[in-house]
Amino acid sequence: MKLTKKSHACVRLDKGGQTLVIDPGAFSEEDAALGADAILITHEHPDHFDEFRLRAAMENNPAAEIWTLRSVADRITAAFPGRVHTVGHGDTFTAAGFDVQVHGELHAVIHPDLPRVTNVGYLVDGGKVFHPGDALTVPGRAVQTLLVPVMAPWNKISEVIDYVREVGPERAYDVHDALLTDLALPIYEGHLGRLGGTAHQRLHPGAWTEL
């Protein structure tokens, strides 16, 4: 499997000639989802869910399909009839040749005064990759590659470090990083690398690795 980092929370997974894209939101490249055979959306916030990027991908590949939770599906099902699948915690499905398990239900708390939206994470190919969306969900299964939301209005680095330790992946790559300046990146990377307890590496947008 090839994992390509796109900007912010978006990643592309390629295997066997098929492509799975997770969270091509408004902070990601305009073509982040082009060429996808399947698209997974973790929740409704615009940095993870962008209708313009989805429409471009769905028009580019008439066979492409989307899997997401109800709050997103309700907004796009009419635009892509028969191509949007609603999923929730505990569901399993196959998308573009990838086996996917759904974990989690709610977005992390931003502030007690703000209502929490729903959020799901996706465990791909039996734990080869886990993308938690905007939550520190522990899937309760062995994870080889954890995509770590390193910086958001709802987290702090100590929580992220403890999350990586609790999941215990073989390796961790940063996502949800568009709000970090170049000045701050080495600080975050240093803390995670020293304290996370796993092999931590940053992939810059466009960079890829084999899993």
Q: Give residue-wise pLDDT tens across range 100-151.
A: 999 999 999 999 999 999 999 999 999 999 999 999 999 999 999 999 999 9
Q: What is the pLDDT of residues 150-200, one digit of tens each?
A: 999 999 999 999 999 999 999 999 999 999 999 999 999 999 999 999 999
Three-state secondary structure call for residue 100: strand
| Domain span including residue 100 | 2-111+119-206
Considering the domain boundaries, does residue 51 fall inside one?
yes
> How far, in Å, CA of 46 to CA of 15, rounded?
27
Considering the domain boundaries, does residue 93 fall inside one?
yes
Where are the strands (E) in the chain, listed by range?
A: 2-5, 11-15, 18-22, 38-41, 65-68, 84-86, 92-95, 98-103, 121-124, 129-131, 145-149, 171-175, 199-201, 208-210
Considering the domain boundaries, does residue 151 fall inside one?
yes
Domain count, the chain: 1
Rg of the Cα atoms in the chain: 16
pTM for the structure as a whole: 0.97
CATH code at 201? Answer: 3.60.15.10
Considering the domain boundaries, does residue 92 fall inside one?
yes
Considering the domain boundaries, does residue 211 fall inside one?
no
